[in-house]
Amino acid sequence: MAKKADGQARIHDQTLTRGNGGELHQVAEGDTPVLTTAQGGPVADDQNTLRVGARGPSLIEDFHFREKIFHFDHERIPERVVHARGYGAHGFFETYESLAQYTRADVFQRAGEKTPAFVRFSTVAGSKGSTDLARDVRGFAVKIYTKEGNWDIVGNNIPVFFIQDAIKFPDLIHSVKPEPDRGFPQAQSAHDNFWDFISLTPESMHMIMWVMSDRAIPRSFRFMEGFGVHTFRFLNANDETTFVKFIWKPKLGLQSVVWNEAVKISGADPDFHRRDLWDAIQSGNYPEWELCVQLFDQQFADVFDFDILDATKIIPEEVIKPLPVGRLVLDRMPENFFFETEQVAFMTQNVPPGIDFSNDPLLQGRNFSYLDTQLKRLGSTNFTHLPINAPKCPFHHFQQDGHMAMRNPTGRANYQPNSWGEGPREQPSRGFRSNTSVEEGPKVRLRAESFADHYSQARQFYKSQTPPEQNHIAAAITFELSKVETPVIRERVVAHLRNIDEGLARTVGGKLGLKKMPEPADAAVKTRTDLPPSSALSIIGNGPKSFMGRKLGVLVADGSDGALLDAVQAAAAEEGATVELVAPKVGGFTAADGTAVAAKHMIDGGPSVLFDAVVLLLAEDGGAQLAKEAAARDFVADAFAHCKFIGYTAGAAALLEKAAIPPSADEGLIVLDSAKSAAAFLKACRTLRVWSREPDVKL
């Protein structure tokens, strides 16, 4: 049961002391400069915003948080401080059934109604010019233009976050951005500053498990989930409230790449995710997600194992099954990238009547921060005048003038109340109403006791992964820490890992060459080992069972069998997959029957990392010739190393031999000699990877 906040809640400073073995207080107080505001005022607590009681809402009078987040929001021009590299598309949201019993939000009142939407996907840490395949959280921000105002679900592809209180957000992002004295590394967390912050912030360990998993290197925007992260509220017409968490489920299933593949994709096509979304929509294969909600009441919140206001925690889907309530379809690209994708402004506080906030301190801080961000980035309080940000429903207010005003109130009265009968008026029956909760408690800077368990759900996530995914997490943490130059930081992280899983900690510690294992980090709350694995947390365990929406790369050369190529393309079309031809020359090849066939890629520019599976459709002469080409050998070797399915003809034997791949290596190498075998190969590709191969290739 989640503990109630009370007068015994620990000051976060004390939590860190006990949670990290005293690392934060090793320097004598008298020798340490006092943290101050920009005005020189000493700061007593830099870990928690001022709120009403340990679990109450944040207070606007918190001048230290206001100054800190204000400065952070204005650090960059003109690109976003975070989520700078993004890509967007238009579409619609369609409601399945009325949710009037839970919410009066207009978008959920009528079954089958379609509402315009715009979605922006992004990475978090990198600049606008960084690569799509950096290991990072992916932003998943949805703007739904409802009939009662814009609703922004400003989420990520990971359901938890690094921190519990928004006052720490500038510190988190400063730590992961390029180190200020050298300006690198770009779009990477594999450096001392980030891991120093993480090693001193145990609340981040659940998020670290997610970010070091395959969730942080998705194959496509189309194949990843989205989460609202926080707990929100639904309010119905009677102002009855229900807690809600939002989840986007991709119709095409989950899929990621492996790290070695991500590195090579970044070199071959740094715009890989952008190109994938563009190609899918332009070809009419519109990406689709289901919006699912987890609904629960105060009674559940009181008895759940963890605090529902803690953004570093999830409610497992086995505990509350997500309810599908609508679908999101993306069917149109912007006409101009800058005008729409770059200028779109999302804000967590954009909610229509019927949707309200919880006291989650991270959400409360985001609500406070985003308006500053848009003012700085878009240059004017009138950013809502931009078409991409303007509501599509009627709107009326008295706001006027300002930089770049494109509309102003008309008539004599630009205020209310007025005697002229002009202008809009508030309407209590239709307007936004907040949940009328009773808040009481002292004005304090506290972290609630119920937020103190930092390891149990991290362990649950790790234990929920399949063996290949667990290996990927260990390899990712090892790689990242191998780039950390300060030994004590590496040791502190391993000490935290011992509270999550001893095997994981020893694997990482061994690969880092630690002479002895550090003691487990002091934990404010002992790690629970009784939380059951959640199958919903595994990507491999939730594979698509289909090759729909995927891409097949077919390596061809002069003399390739045109009829067999037709059979492969027909089988791929039956599966809903795309076929792209890769040839020695960009002009294409001449098939065995003399037909000239165009190709999409030249072999040097079409490596196998761009595809989900490959076919080596070669005649003997073509196979022998390509066996001499380094790019062709890499095409085959990488596909094998990345555990992809490989279909091949007898003529590819020389190329397979040069790539050191036995034709009968495993079930993922399939001979193609007929239309029937082509269909069987595409059906085999539905599982996407041959994970049994991975221990042998040892990537």
The CA dihedral of 449, 450, 452, 457, to the nearest 10 degrees, is 170
Residue 19 has pLDDT above 90, yes or no: no
Q: What local confidence, expressed as pLDDT, does residue 15 receive?
A: 37
Q: pLDDT at position 29, please?
A: 56
Return the domain boundaries, the chain. 79-156+222-385, 547-697
Predicted pLDDT of residue 609: 98
Supply the pLDDT for residue 407.
85
Looking at residue 642, the DSSP 8-state letter turns out to be T
Give 448's contacts (C-beta < 8 A, 6+ positions apart).
3, 5, 9, 54, 55, 307, 309
Do the domains at 79-156+222-385 and 547-697 have one common CATH topology? no
Is a pLDDT exceeding 50 seen at residue 98? Answer: yes
Residue 372 and residue 381: Cα distance in Å, rounded?
9
pLDDT in tens, 290-348: 999 999 999 999 999 999 999 999 999 999 999 999 999 999 999 999 999 999 999 99
From CA 115, how far away is CA 623, in angstroms rounded? 53
CA dihedral 366, 368, 374, 377 (to 10 degrees): -80
Question: d(Cα 116, Cα 340) in Å, to the nearest integer?
Answer: 14
Query: Which of 83, 90, 206, 496 is the catalytic position?
Result: 83
Q: How confident is the model at residue 2 (pLDDT cuts 50, 70, 90)?
A: very low
Q: Which residue has the tokens 């005048």?
A: 385
Annotation says 471 is catalytic: no
Catalytic residue among 20, 48, 150, 156: 156
Specify whether the CB–CB gap between 598 and 545 falls below 8 A. Answer: no
Residue 402 is predicted with a pLDDT of 84
Greater confidence (17 vs 177) lies with 177
Q: For residue 415, which amino acid is it?
A: Y
- Residue range 300-313, pLDDT digits in tens: 999 999 999 999 99
Structure confidence at residue 14 (pLDDT): 37
Which strand (E) or helix (H) includes residue 169? helix 169-176
- 385 an active-site residue? no
- Per the CB < 8 A criterion, the answer to whether 242 and 297 are in contact is yes
- As a whole number, mean pLDDT of residues 608-630 equals 97
- Average the pLDDT over each of 30-44, 55-69, 121-135, 368-382 and give the range with the smallest value: 30-44
**DSSP-assigned letters across all residues of 646-670:** EEE-GGGHHHHHHTT--TTSSTTEE
Identify whether the C-beta of residue 357 lies closer than 8 Å to the C-beta of residue 433.
no
Q: pLDDT tier at 18 (50, 70, 90 boundaries)?
A: very low
Instruction: In whole angstroms, give the CA distance from residue 4 to residue 680.
Output: 58
Q: Tell me: the pLDDT tens digits for 26-45?
A: 444 567 888 887 777 788 89
DSSP output for 249-317: EETT---B--HHHHHHHHHH-TTHHHHHHHHHHHTT---EEEEEEEEE-HHHHHHSSS-TT-TT----T
Q: Which CATH architecture group holds 79-156+222-385?
A: Beta Barrel (2.40)
Structure confidence at residue 77 as a pLDDT band (50, 70, 90): low
CB distance 347 to 142 below 8 Å:
no
The whole-angstrom separation of Cα 645 and Cα 572 is 14
Supply the CATH classification number for the domain 547-697. Answer: 3.40.50.880
pLDDT at residue 288, rounded to an integer: 98
Tokens of 296: 């629960």
- What does the pLDDT read at residue 63? 83
pLDDT band at 21; cut points 50, 70, 90? very low
> What is the reported pLDDT for 187?
96
The pLDDT of 640-669, averaged and rounded, is 95
